[in-house]
């Protein structure tokens, strides 16, 4: 793939196809770069909004915009990766899951690797990177023990999708993606 547009388009199409292969109903939001989500996945009355992120380099840049805004607001302040991750999390509504598609080293005749997580889970990974200092990028693999990386149980499987649907159906919205309190902004320099 030559451009980020092609990566995004391929990621959304492949994910929609995979959800359909698992037997879920899939609705694609019309138009490029729509806010919050790209797809809706349903199984009867149970529904998830899905935000799809594609990558061809092993990682997904997530909270750089928030970190840049913090640096502009407080040029002399610390580089606060935790606060940037918290601000990234606040942008996501309850009931929306993140879907990460990795094309790096994926043969053209095979599916790329696909992962599913609640934004809260992603935020926790970003904050735990670099020995708890934090990072703005979620990496697929952590080769040096320093990066925010994806755990195996995030792999997109029928069981993982069913688990996420069950959590959404059984938990109040605030428990699916709880807001971060402003009192937790002191870590991560």
Provide the pLDDT for residue 170. 79
Give the separation between CA 53 and CA 7, rounded to whole angstroms.
Answer: 9
Whole-prediction pTM: 0.87
- For the chain, 189 residues long, give each residue's pLDDT as a single digit of tens: 789 999 999 999 999 999 999 999 999 988 766 788 999 999 999 999 999 999 999 999 999 999 999 999 999 988 999 999 999 999 998 889 999 999 999 999 999 999 999 999 999 999 998 889 999 999 998 776 667 789 999 999 999 999 999 988 776 655 555 444 333 333 333
Name which of 91, 85, 106, 88 is nearest 11 in CA terms: 106
CATH topology of domain 4-171: Trna Endonuclease; Chain: A, domain 1 (3.40.1350)
109 Cβ neighbours under 8 A, 6+ residues apart: none
Provide the pLDDT for residue 1. 79
44's torsion region: left (phi>0), alpha (psi -120 to 50) or beta? left
């Amino acid at each position: 793939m030559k451009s980020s547009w092609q990566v995004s388009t391929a990621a959304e199409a492949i994910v929609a196809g995979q959800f359909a292969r698992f037997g879920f109903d899939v609705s694609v939001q019309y138009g490029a770069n729509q806010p919050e989500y790209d797809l809706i996945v349903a199984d009867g009355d149970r529904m998830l909004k899905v935000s799809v992120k594609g990558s061809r380099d092993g990682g997904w840049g997530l909270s750089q915009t928030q970190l840049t805004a913090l640096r502009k607001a407080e040029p002399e302040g610390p580089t606060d990766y935790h606060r940037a991750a918290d601000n990234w999390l606040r942008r996501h509504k309850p009931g929306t899951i993140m879907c990460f598609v990795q094309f790096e080293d994926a043969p053209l005749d095979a599916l790329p690797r696909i992962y599913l997580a609640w934004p809260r889970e992603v935020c926790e990974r970003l904050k735990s990177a670099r020995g708890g200092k934090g990072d703005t990028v979620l990496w697929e693999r952590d080769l040096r023990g320093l990066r925010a990386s994806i755990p195996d149980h995030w792999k997109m499987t029928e069981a993982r999708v069913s688990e996420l649907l069950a959590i959404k159906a059984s938990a109040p919205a605030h428990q699916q993606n709880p807001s971060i309190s402003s009192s937790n902004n002191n870590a991560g320099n």
